[in-house]
């Protein structure tokens, strides 16, 4: 019988902001092979395409990182990859976008070694895993969206604040699952400009995440 191959792991984190580097936990662990590290989202996608990891540890604090867009691209480019996201408290709303993009698990801020290793083990077996604090947030958000739908709330722009033609174009691409980088390429805009548009659309539609934007846009379409 041949021994099992080690689990290939890619880590996307910025050592300058992450005092406890994931790499220090993974490197040298039996059964794990650290196939690459990346200090920003763009590099993470490049390394993932080249090294085809099975597990990707993704820190949302990493520079130039649109967590949902990076997750979506990695899942698309790497059929075996399962993405584990570490979400800071101030960015919990991005968790829902990452779930829609294909993330399998979420770690709390500053997780212990045992939590990191247990999450990798669960995800490698095809399971999903959420830190306890994030589970409550996910349930609350799901309940809030369900109640809004059941009440028949019309998710439309407030009077005097309709979406512009450009904002509608961007909203359609968000509904199609496109990240900021893809939207920028499609509309020939700078990625920073797209981010500003998305922030304005969130404000106009009174939404807290891209996922909620998509839900509201679909309801507007069916109204």
Residue 98 and residue 149 in one domain = no
pLDDT, residue 146, reads: 66
What's residue 74's pLDDT? 92
Both 126 and 160 in a single domain? no
Confidence class of residue 26 from pLDDT cuts 50, 70 and 90? confident
In a domain, 138, yes or no: no
State whether 31 and 107 are in the same domain.
yes
Which CATH number belongs to the domain containing residue 189 in this structure? Answer: 1.10.10.10
Same domain, 67 and 152: no
| Same domain for 120 and 13 | yes
Quick check: is 78 in a domain? yes
Q: Comparing 15 with 71, which gets the higher pLDDT?
A: 71
CATH number for the domain spanning 41: value is: 3.40.50.2300
d(C-alpha 123, C-alpha 148), whole Å:
32
Of 103, 133, 163, which closes a domain? 133
How many domains does the chain divide into?
2
95-149 tens-digit pLDDT: 777 887 888 998 877 788 888 999 999 999 888 888 777 777 777 767 766 666 5
Same-domain status, 150 and 118: no
Average pLDDT taken over every residue of the chain: 79
Could you say which of 107, 133, 159 is where a domain stops? 133
Q: What is the pTM of this model?
A: 0.66
**Rounded mean pLDDT, 16-39:** 80
> Is residue 150 located within the same domain as residue 123?
no
Q: Which residue, 104, 133, 162, sits at the end of a domain?
A: 133
Question: Residue 34 pLDDT > 80, yes or no?
Answer: yes
Same domain, 48 and 107: yes
In a domain? residue 139: no
| Domain contains 68 | yes
For the segment 144-160, the average pLDDT, to the nearest whole number, is 52
| More confident of the two residues 46 and 66 | 46
Residues 25 and 74 in one domain: yes
Q: Does residue 153 share a domain with residue 124?
A: no
Residues 22 and 102 grouped into a single domain:
yes
1 part of a folded domain: no
Does the residue 98 lie in any domain?
Answer: yes
What range defines the domain where residue 46 resides? 7-133
**Over the stretch 51-99, which tens digit does the pLDDT of each residue have?**
999 999 998 877 776 778 888 889 889 988 999 998 765 455 677 778 8
What are the tens digits of pLDDT across the range 197-216? 888 888 778 777 787 777 77
pLDDT at 19: 47
User: Do 127 and 157 sit in the same domain of this protein?
Assistant: no
């Amino acid at each position: 019988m041949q021994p099992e191959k080690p689990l290939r792991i890619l880590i996307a984190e910025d050592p300058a902001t992450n005092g406890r580097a994931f790499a220090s936990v993974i490197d040298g662990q039996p059964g794990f092979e650290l196939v690459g590290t990346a200090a920003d989202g763009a590099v993470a996608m490049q390394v993932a395409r080249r090294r085809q990891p099975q597990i990707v540890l993704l820190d949302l604090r990493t520079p130039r990182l649109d967590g949902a867009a990076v997750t979506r691209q990695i899942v698309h480019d790497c059929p075996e990859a399962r993405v584990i996201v570490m979400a800071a408290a101030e960015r919990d709303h991005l968790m829902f976008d990452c779930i829609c993009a294909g993330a399998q698990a979420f770690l709390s801020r500053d997780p212990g070694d045992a939590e990191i290793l247990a999450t990798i083990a669960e995800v490698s077996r095809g399971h999903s895993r959420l830190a306890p604090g994030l589970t409550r947030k996910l349930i609350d958000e799901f309940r809030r969206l369900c109640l809004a739908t059941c009440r028949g709330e019309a998710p439309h722009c407030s009077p005097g604040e309709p979406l512009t033609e450009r904002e509608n174009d961007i909203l359609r691409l968000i509904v199609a699952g496109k990240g900021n980088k893809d939207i920028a390429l499609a509309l020939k805009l700078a990625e920073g400009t797209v981010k500003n548009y998305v922030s304005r659309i969130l404000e106009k539609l009174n939404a807290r995440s891209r996922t909620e934007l998509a839900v509201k846009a679909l309801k507007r379409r069916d109204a």
